[in-house]
Amino acid sequence: MHAFNTVVATAVALASTAYHISLVSAGPVDNNLLSRNPFPQAAPALAAVPTACPGVPAISFPFQVASGWAATKVAGNLTLPRGIVVDTQGRLLMVQNGIGISQHILTSGGCIQSSRVLIAQTNLNHGIYLSPNGTTLYASSPTTVWSWTYDPASGNVLGSYTVLVTGMVNSGHITRTLIIPPHAPNLLLVAHGSNGNVDAAAVNPATARAVVRVFDLSNLPSGGYNYVTQGYLMGYGLRNEVALAFDGNNMPGSLPGDDFQRTVNGVTTDIHQDNPAEELNYLGDVTVPNNNWYGYPVCYTVWQPSLITDRVFAPGDQFVAAPNSTFNDTTCIQQSQPAHMIFQSHNAPIDSKFDATFSNLFITLHGSWDRQPAAGFRLVSVPFAQNSAGAYVPTAATNSTSGWQDILYQADPSNCSGTTCIRPAGLAFVAGGNLYMTSDNQREGELFLVGRVG
């Protein structure tokens, strides 16, 4: 129902949706922390966030910062800044939707010394990643994934691009998040959201929508892979997994719907304000196909049980939008993979990065369009711990509605929109343990450095 056909409409398309975070996992434990996020430091010395960066105008949109944290604007006047990565020499690379990839040389304090456009390509709209060894740069448009040879010494791109993946749909949810497991750098994960709010056909994984797929780059066919017919599945029924991250076992995790109704015996109730929940999904070992169904567009997860009046639910329970004689809420439990954790409806997770010890997953919640009052518009951290089996799991229960800490947030987000409040988008850790965060507010794109104080 929300079809956005042009790149220009991207910010609007993103604003329109709710997303999942997926954690992907990968067999043997790899403790090479330096190869993650993609390059955070293991047990870093705490670097101070500067109180201001010279020459950078004041913040455009006010926000609060949690006690013990600081956030400083390091750049403004950016054009819909989305994904960011830091190269092995500490340069920041950023997708600006409508420009391409910009490169920013940082001062030792974390401010920007100089900036340039590294790759001028206006269709790049969100996805960016660096190979674990730092010498191949990846980026995506709605339809295509490319790579470039990247020289960390000079910071230059060498030669032309290589087409890696083609054949994705240029409508509906059009961000193609990219992520590569540190222990298997030949594998490229590409997320593809649904084509619209409720994409009925996407219940069939052969549509290759509402899925995450994996491509083996060591076997790249001439002209690249076709997204729909090649590669393998890392889960389906995943509405729009924009925020993908690997946990400490290299397992990826990912984040679902709006305009929501429940229809029981012909009676339809609008439950969209606070349902369904945003989900944190766990995708498992990336080196083997994951053919599991995560429920979309049939099964969803409850956030606010009181809005669903035909029966008693708890937060985190699965429900079917329209139960019938052959498919009810119990069928969801039997057939669909449940979320590992839930977030408030319409918060729209956009990126997620673990800290160096995998103790906290930082998540940007871009914010709502289809909820009055508005919600989201914040950066949160979700505590994780290893369970007795060694898996990384959120410390909050699966029915918890408060499993995170607000780090950077609005005192009252109720009147926020894509032009009036900070819109957290991309995240990247740097040496010293601080975190860069983009905000793609349509009036001014900004970049912040966020870190602990003291």
Regarding 77 and contact with ligand NAG (CB under 6 A), the answer is yes
User: Is residue 71 helix, strand or coil?
Assistant: strand
- Minimum CB distance to ligand NAG, residue 303 (Å): 11
Which of these ranges, 28-36, 105-113, 156-164, 323-331, lies near ligand NAG under the rule CB under 6 A? 323-331
Of 6 and 372, CB closest to ligand NAG: 372
Instruction: Return the exposure string of 166-193: e unless at least 16 CB atoms fall within 10 Å of the residue's CB, then b.
Output: bebbeebbbbbbbbbbbbbeebbbbbbb
CA distance 28 to 251: 10
User: Binding segment for ligand NAG among 166-174, 222-230, 408-416, 433-441 (CB under 6 A)?
Assistant: 408-416
Sign of CA dihedral 172, 251, 378, 429: negative
Cα 437 from Cα 228, distance rounded (Å): 32
Nearest-angstrom CA–CA distance, 349 and 365: 4
Segment 196-255, which members bind ligand NAG (CB under 6 A)?
A: none
| Residue 336 binds to ligand NAG (criterion: CB under 6 A) | no
Which one of 261-269, 288-296, 324-332, 442-450 is the stretch in contact with ligand NAG (CB under 6 A)?
324-332
SS3 label, residue 225: strand
Using CB under 6 A as the binding rule, the residues of this chain from 302 to 321 that contact ligand NAG are: 314-315
Asked whether position 298 contacts ligand NAG by CB under 6 A, the answer is: yes
Among 412, 419, 443, 453, binds ligand NAG (CB under 6 A): 412
Given 327, 335, 386, 417, the residue binding ligand NAG (CB under 6 A): 327
- How many Å apart are CA 310 and CA 347, to the nearest integer? 26
φ and ψ at residue 164, rounded to 5 degrees: -100, -45
Out of 397, 419, 443, 453, point to the residue binding ligand NAG (CB under 6 A): 397
Give the SS3 label for residue 24: strand
* Minimum gap (Å) between residue 64 Cβ and ligand NAG: 13
- Alpha carbons 437 and 423: distance in angstroms, whole number: 10
Residues 117-176 that bind ligand NAG (CB under 6 A): 131, 133, 135-136
In 3D space, the residue among 200, 194, 193 whose CA is nearest the CA of residue 321 turns out to be 200
Binding mask 340-379 for ligand NAG (x = CB under 6 A): ----------------------------------------
Question: To which H or E segment does residue 72 belong?
Answer: strand 69-78
Number of residues that bind ligand NAG (CB under 6 A): 20
Q: How far is the CB of 265 from ligand NAG (least distance, A)?
A: 11
| 109 touches ligand NAG by CB under 6 A | no
User: What is the phi/psi pair of residue 392, to 5°?
Assistant: -90, 120
Nearer to ligand NAG, 11 or 70 (CB): 11
- Is position 107 an interface residue for ligand NAG (rule: CB under 6 A)? no
324 binds ligand NAG (CB under 6 A): yes
Query: What is the closest distance, in whole angstroms, from the C-beta atom of residue 47 to ligand NAG in the complex?
Result: 27
Q: What number of other Cβ atoms are within 10 A of residue 214's Cβ?
A: 22
- 185 touching ligand NAG, by CB under 6 A: yes
Which of 24, 61, 28, 32 is CA-nearest to residue 441? 61
Give the span between the Cα atoms of 400 and 252, in whole angstroms.
21
Among 122, 399, 405, 420, binds ligand NAG (CB under 6 A): 399
Q: Alpha carbon 360 to chain centroid distance?
A: 15
Site residues (vs ligand NAG, CB under 6 A): 77, 131, 133, 135-136, 185-186, 298, 314-315, 324, 326-328, 330, 397, 399, 412, 414-415
